[in-house]
């Protein structure tokens, strides 16, 4: 750890003894007696995050049960301090205990000293060379998606963007992890991933958690069913890995990691890779479908770069505006919208003293809507990400994949798949949202409640 005898703010130079602790929303309606902000936070987490930032600042003490107080950080300098500048002073902490419900002791839940060995084992599967080696399978998956959507278009049949996106990522990421198309596990696999992320969120503190585990509530039954589904998938992956099937699974099987790492790391990568990438794709296509001026520019770029064919890995560098559209959607809808940590010793974050053993929430969502960094943050505008621009914002105001050494290992894989698919869709179709604006839900990820219903119309170039 980059420990200092007297922790100082890297900007103001204030010591922990001199710096004030974060303010908190001490009055109604943001904090109530006994329960503090817990009920209001649970009712609308993203909305609550933005309101706290707007009314109380970028480093705020939140009275949230059961981890009271928790400090929310949306300040870019504070985010840099936690994720990079003094990362050794921040453990996974109390919030991550809930993640162990499904993820065990693996890539996401372990602290740095133990995590490094796991990251080193799986890293070869995410290098540019490894991604390139899987390009043929990715191309086939994107082509199949376009083929299905062409059938929907001819029939005038609406479909769910989120469900279709999950089908794609289950196939592409499934091949990388376990050597097969995980969408063939049926809808119950996608449901298991969603339930797992819901359960992890609720395990921190919810009414369901208060009910004894032996009581068969509908929620408990869904959680148990999800666990059984994932265990079945992992059992098959284990048998296949013994025969060298599945790049990541085989790497783990042949490593010196503990025996439980096989399950923990594979489930972690499924949860952290399959659904998050699907959500990013669904939200991007929703935004482009509802912003005609963006859609037209995407179509023009697809026609110019692709000339009517489907994109491949070699085309991605030429799809500049497509990348900008994806980046802006990730700003507005970051799939993983906050990162928990916990201080080991006192620290000074953006001029505020954060005592030892304090849970911290690095709010990606709040940072992405910080009005000090983003002009009109409610507006979808890909021009914010034009290459070569000179934005006034701090680079840590945009962290959809985290930052520092724990940055998402699948960042390049996910971005490549997103660009390729968005370009393929806009080269062939125009989408219309038919089910109304989706309501955003929030557990570990930001998801569209009830999906995103659209119709597709074949373009005439």
Give 8-29 as a DSSP string.
B-TTT--BTTTSPPPB---STT
Closest CA to 289 of 316, 329, 334, 327: 329
Q: In 246-285, where do the E strands start and end?
A: none
Please give the distance of CA 276 from its chain centroid, rounded to a whole number.
Answer: 5
Q: Inter-axis angle of helices 292-306 and 276-289, to 10 degrees?
A: 110
Kindly report the number of other CB atoms within 10 A of residue 202's CB atom. 18
User: What are the structure tokens assigned to 251, written together?
Assistant: 């790497």
Report the alpha-carbon distance of residue 347 to residue 213 in Å, rounded.
38
Report the alpha-carbon distance of residue 282 to residue 452 in Å, rounded.
8
Report the alpha-carbon distance of residue 354 to residue 90 in Å, rounded.
11
Residue 93 backbone phi and psi in degrees, to 5: 85, -170
In the annotated binding site, the residues are: 408
Distances (CA, A) of 45 to 20, 198, 274: 26, 13, 23
Kindly report the number of other CB atoms within 10 A of residue 34's CB atom. 7
Report the alpha-carbon distance of residue 422 to residue 413 in Å, rounded.
14
User: What are the structure tokens assigned to 382, written together?
Assistant: 């890909």
Report the alpha-carbon distance of residue 33 to residue 39 in Å, rounded.
11
In the annotated binding site for heme, the residues are: 408
Report the alpha-carbon distance of residue 81 to residue 341 in Å, rounded.
12
User: What are the structure tokens assigned to 22, written together?
Assistant: 């974060």
Q: With contact defined as beta carbons under 8 Å apart, do 266 and 238 qualify? A: no
> Which 8-state DSSP code applies to residue 460?
-
């Amino acid at each position: 750890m980059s420990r200092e005898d007297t922790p100082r703010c890297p900007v103001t130079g204030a010591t922990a003894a001199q710096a004030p602790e974060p303010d908190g929303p001490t009055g109604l309606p943001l904090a109530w007696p006994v329960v503090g902000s817990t009920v209001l936070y649970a009712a609308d987490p993203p909305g609550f995050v933005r309101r706290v930032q707007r009314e109380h600042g970028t480093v705020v003490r939140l009275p949230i049960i059961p981890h009271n107080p928790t400090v929310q950080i949306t300040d870019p300098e504070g985010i840099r301090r936690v994720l990079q500048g003094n990362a050794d002073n921040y453990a996974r902490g109390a919030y991550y205990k809930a993640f162990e419900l499904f993820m065990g002791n693996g890539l996401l839940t372990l602290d740095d000293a133990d995590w490094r060995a796991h990251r080193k084992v799986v890293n070869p599967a995410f290098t540019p060379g490894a991604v390139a080696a899987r390009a043929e399978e990715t191309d086939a998956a994107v082509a199949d998606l376009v083929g299905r959507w062409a059938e929907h278009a001819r029939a005038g049949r609406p479909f769910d963007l989120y469900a279709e996106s999950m089908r794609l990522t289950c196939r592409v990421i499934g091949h990388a992890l376990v050597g097969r198309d995980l969408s063939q596990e049926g809808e119950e696999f996608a449901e298991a991933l969603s339930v797992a992320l819901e359960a992890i969120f609720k395990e921190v503190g919810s009414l369901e958690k208060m009910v004894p585990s032996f009581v068969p509530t509908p929620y408990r039954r869904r959680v148990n069913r999800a666990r059984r589904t994932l265990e079945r998938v992992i059992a098959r992956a284990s048998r296949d890995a013994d025969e060298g099937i599945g790049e990541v699974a085989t790497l783990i099987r042949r490593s010196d990691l503990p025996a439980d790492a096989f399950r923990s790391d594979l489930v972690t990568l499924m949860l952290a890779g399959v659904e998050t990438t699907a959500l990013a794709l669904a939200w991007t296509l929703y935004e482009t479908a509802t912003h005609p001026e963006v859609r037209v520019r995407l179509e023009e770029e697809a026609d110019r770069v692709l000339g009517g064919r489907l994109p491949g890995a070699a085309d991605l560098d030429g799809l500049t505006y497509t990348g900008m559209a994806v980046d802006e959607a990730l700003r507005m809808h970051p799939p993983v919208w906050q990162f928990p940590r916990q201080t080991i010793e006192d620290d000074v974050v953006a001029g505020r003293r954060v005592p030892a053993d304090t849970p911290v929430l690095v709010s990606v969502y709040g940072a992405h809507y910080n009005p000090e960094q983003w002009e009109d943050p409610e507006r979808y505008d890909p021009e914010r990400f034009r290459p070569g621009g000179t934005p006034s914002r701090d680079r840590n105001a945009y962290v959809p994949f985290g930052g520092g050494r724990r940055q998402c290992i699948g960042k390049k894989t996910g971005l490549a798949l997103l660009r390729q698919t968005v370009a393929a869709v806009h080269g062939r179709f125009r989408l219309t949202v038919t089910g109304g604006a989706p309501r955003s839900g929030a557990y570990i990820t930001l998801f569209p409640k009830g999906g995103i219903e659209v119709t597709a119309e074949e373009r005439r170039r």
